[in-house]
Structure 1
Amino acid sequence: MSHRAIVVDRPLPDARPEAILRRVETAAAALEGGIDVDVLFSSVNYKDAIALTGGPGILRSLPLTPGIDVVGRVRTSADGWSAGDTVITNGGGLGERFDGGLAERSAVPAAHTIALPDGMTARTAAAIGTAGFTAALAVQAIATAGVSPDDGEILVTGAGGGVGSFAIALLAARGYRVAAVTGRESLADALVDLGAERVLERSEIDVADGKPMQSSRWAGAVDSVGSTTLVNVLAQTSYGGVVAACGLAQGPDLPGTVLPFILRGVTLAGINSVEAPLARRREAWAELATLPVDVIDSIAPRTEPLERATTIAREVLAGRVAGRVVIDTRA
């Protein structure tokens, strides 16, 4: 039976790859041995936005269906799952090596798939998605390393994005005092509503010629920006602090020094949500399930049909989307 999917095709000479919504008989690059699911919801993450607009570095082969998030219903019993079970898959190669969630049907890797938490709806799970999952891993890395709410403020960069928004909510729920950084002044009130005690303008942190060691300001940080912003965050982190790095919106480079590590004992913790093992996935999602639904909905208020995914992708890359956008694959 055919189903609708957004497929990024091979480009014509001297052209970018093109994302097209069309009917397909089978997944273009179905995961061998994957769990066959009817996709209920997906989302447009930063990675998806790049893939949908023909950008390089995300899709490992073409043609391929983007979408690193899948919330779906199992079609046929397999790998301990029963037909009708609702499952969540984030990463695991979806939308990069294998056909992803921007389709009505997908094959998801069992090693990266968990059950929908009790009491959570499929739409809510998609609203959280990889962004919320990554934020939970980052917050847990800071807490597990021993940074407590009594140690000082936690900085969240890229606070207007999905990862940053969920990081603020999760940190506040644990009792941390949060300082949020954004380049969009219009988001300040919303970030405070999520739990930030104060909001900083991006220029306060993004200083190209910042000193390798700066005044101690943060007990820890969640950074989704990278590059010079991350270097300055490290230089401002207090003794024994932990910085969880989970993104590269500004760039993949790290033009700094080792001084924060060897003079203040700062830890740079890398967060990889793609290959996180099942135990960590279940732990992260258990924490995410404690967030109030109205908080999640405030981060992801929009639900759009599958046919609008590419339009949303352009908005994401242009910085016109705050938080998250859910894609209803059946609409």
Structure 2
Amino acid sequence: MKALVVRKDEESGKTSAAVEDLSVADLPEGDVTVAVEYSTVNYKDGLCIGPGGGLVRQYPHVPGIDFAGTVEESSDDRYKPGDKVVLTGWRVGEVHWGGYAQKARVKADWLVPLPGGLDSRQAMAVGTAGFTAMLAVMALEDHGLKPGQGPVLVTGAAGGVGSVATAILANLGYEVAAVTGRPETADYLTSLGATQIVPREDINETTKRPLEGETWAGCVDAVGGAMLARVLGQMKYGGSVAAVGLAGGAALPATVIPFLLRGVNLLGIDSVMQPYDNRLRAWERIASDLPMEKLEAMAHPATLADLPQLGADILKGQVKGRVVVDVNA
């Protein structure tokens, strides 16, 4: 089988990634062996393909935090050969070998049945990024967000999480304000359903004022850092921000004033260790609430051989939308 293998030079500490031929016997232990059909590229994948980012424990390593495919062998009663499955999270592709290979072996607990209405290619056009976006939308709804309450801000909107969040929110009837630092993506974001394009520089500067005008009914934030701090002070009373990423930094130079005077909620979204029932709920919502034509508009094809470059590009913020990796191409 072919796989993207990352190796580390012990002397220099540098890593290199290349497509290699491996044996099925090389796969790690697990309950279920899956014939992988598609994977995708997320920010974490860029780290695991390249510098490691503290995520990879042992080399050689096969990255790929997502995959979709068909069960080949299973020692667990929940899955049988021929079943279509999806995997996101559980530190697969980081600690455990992942989806950048033609076969993967994992624990049954980590898998979810492919939801009706989606094929494996579409599932990877969604991937962890889209799954995370759906979790964020669900969390905002669970905290009272409804269409008609005002614009919902999506930061990092042209990225993977942001693109899917924009499409889902627009499809559900929300007014979406999309933040981007790339003016050339405005037409793309409008095609996904954004009704307002917010230049990144308008909202990326810190302010000494802990509160500004009440502007946003909700927010899906993939940036963190100074932008998240600024957004918290612009939320409407009782509004919520779903925090999904830290592309702009892990520090949060904010005050508690928005929480105390406006009842703002900051909701942490983790996609890696989500319980099984919530995973099912999210995937079912994706199948029903994400327009497939919008998903196609944000998806770009790739092969295993393209991954070293794509990994470097996504770390620089140069990947738009979603990348679908055909591991058999």
- TM-score, with normalisation over the residues of structure 2? 0.95
Tell me the alpha carbon deviations over residues 50-73 of structure 1, each in whole angstroms, 9 at most, x when there is no partner. 111224222133222110101011
Tell me the alpha carbon deviations over residues 67-91 of structure 1, each in whole angstroms, 9 at most, x when there is no partner. 0101011011332111011100001
Q: CA offset at residue 131 of structure 1?
A: 0.6
> In structure 1, how many angstroms separate the alpha carbons of the residues matched to 2:245 and 2:267?
12
> In structure 1, how many angstroms separate the alpha carbons of the residues matched to 2:208 and 2:232?
11
The question of whether the paired residues in 1 share the 8 Å contact of 2:34 and 2:72 is answered with yes
> In structure 2, how many angstroms separate the alpha carbons of the residues matched to 1:27 and 1:17?
24
> In structure 1, how many angstroms separate the alpha carbons of the residues matched to 2:61 and 2:101?
11
Q: CA offset at residue 25 of structure 1?
A: 2.2
Q: CA offset at residue 303 of structure 1?
A: 1.2
Alpha carbons of structure 1 residues 77 and 34: separation in structure 2 relative to 1, 3 Å: closer
The 5 A counterparts of 1:285-296 are 285-290=283-288, 291-296=290-295
Query: Is it true that 1:47 corresponds to 2:56 in the alignment?
Result: no
> In structure 2, how many angstroms separate the alpha carbons of the residues matched to 1:5 and 1:295?
30
Query: Is it true that 1:61 corresponds to 2:58 in the alignment?
Result: yes
Provide the residue aligned with 2:112 in structure 1.
114
Query: Is it true that 1:186 corresponds to 2:184 in the alignment?
Result: yes
Per mean C-alpha deviation after superposition, the further-off stretch among 203-212 and 291-300 is: 203-212
Query: Is it true that 1:75 corresponds to 2:72 in the alignment?
Result: yes
> In structure 2, how many angstroms separate the alpha carbons of the residues matched to 1:162 and 1:63?
27
> In structure 2, how many angstroms separate the alpha carbons of the residues matched to 1:55 and 1:97?
11
The 5 A counterparts of 1:295-310 are 295-300=294-299, 302-310=300-308
Determine which of 7, 10, 17 is the counterpart of 2:8.
Answer: 10
> In structure 1, how many angstroms separate the alpha carbons of the residues matched to 2:139 and 2:152?
13
Alpha carbons of structure 1 residues 183 and 210: separation in structure 2 relative to 1, 3 Å: farther
Tell me the alpha carbon deviations over residues 5-34 of structure 1, each in whole angstroms, 9 at most, x when there is no partner. 11222224234222222122247662x333
> In structure 2, how many angstroms separate the alpha carbons of the residues matched to 1:261 and 1:61?
42
Tell me the alpha carbon deviations over residues 116-139 of structure 1, each in whole angstroms, 9 at most, x when there is no partner. 122322111111100110000000
Determine which of 268, 280, 283 is the counterpart of 1:282.
Answer: 280
Per mean C-alpha deviation after superposition, the further-off stretch among 113-122 and 214-223 is: 113-122
Tell me the alpha carbon deviations over residues 111-165 of structure 1, each in whole angstroms, 9 at most, x when there is no partner. 2311112232211111110011000000000001111112211100000001001
> In structure 1, how many angstroms separate the alpha carbons of the residues matched to 2:106 and 2:222?
26
Equivalent pairs counted in the alignment come to 327
Structure 1 counterpart of 2:322, which letter? R
> In structure 2, how many angstroms separate the alpha carbons of the residues matched to 1:21 and 1:196?
38
Provide the residue aligned with 1:100 in structure 2.
98
> In structure 2, how many angstroms separate the alpha carbons of the residues matched to 1:69 and 1:288?
16
Determine which of 237, 250, 253 is the counterpart of 1:252.
Answer: 250
The question of whether the paired residues in 1 share the 8 Å contact of 2:39 and 2:67 is answered with yes
> In structure 2, how many angstroms separate the alpha carbons of the residues matched to 1:49 and 1:252?
18
Tell me the alpha carbon deviations over residues 167-203 of structure 1, each in whole angstroms, 9 at most, x when there is no partner. 0111112111110000011111111111111100001
Per mean C-alpha deviation after superposition, the further-off stretch among 317-326 and 129-138 is: 317-326
Percent identity, aligned pairs only, is 44
SS in 2 for 1:149: coil
The question of whether the paired residues in 1 share the 8 Å contact of 2:207 and 2:230 is answered with no
The question of whether the paired residues in 2 share the 8 Å contact of 1:156 and 1:178 is answered with yes
Q: CA offset at residue 263 of structure 1?
A: 1.1
The question of whether the paired residues in 2 share the 8 Å contact of 1:112 and 1:276 is answered with no
Unaligned ranges ≥5, structure 1: none
The question of whether the paired residues in 1 share the 8 Å contact of 2:5 and 2:17 is answered with yes
Provide the residue aligned with 1:89 in structure 2.
87
The question of whether the paired residues in 1 share the 8 Å contact of 2:132 and 2:269 is answered with yes
> In structure 1, how many angstroms separate the alpha carbons of the residues matched to 2:138 and 2:88?
17
> In structure 2, how many angstroms separate the alpha carbons of the residues matched to 1:99 and 1:273?
18
> In structure 2, how many angstroms separate the alpha carbons of the residues matched to 1:77 and 1:240?
47
Provide the residue aligned with 2:152 in structure 1.
154
> In structure 1, how many angstroms separate the alpha carbons of the residues matched to 2:4 and 2:260?
48
Tell me the alpha carbon deviations over residues 259-303 of structure 1, each in whole angstroms, 9 at most, x when there is no partner. 111111111000000011111111111111122321111111x21
> In structure 2, how many angstroms separate the alpha carbons of the residues matched to 1:161 and 1:287?
20
SS in 2 for 1:151: coil
- TM-score, with normalisation over the residues of structure 1? 0.95
Query: Is it true that 1:228 corresponds to 2:226 in the alignment?
Result: yes
Provide the residue aligned with 1:35 in structure 2.
32
> In structure 2, how many angstroms separate the alpha carbons of the residues matched to 1:330 and 1:57?
29
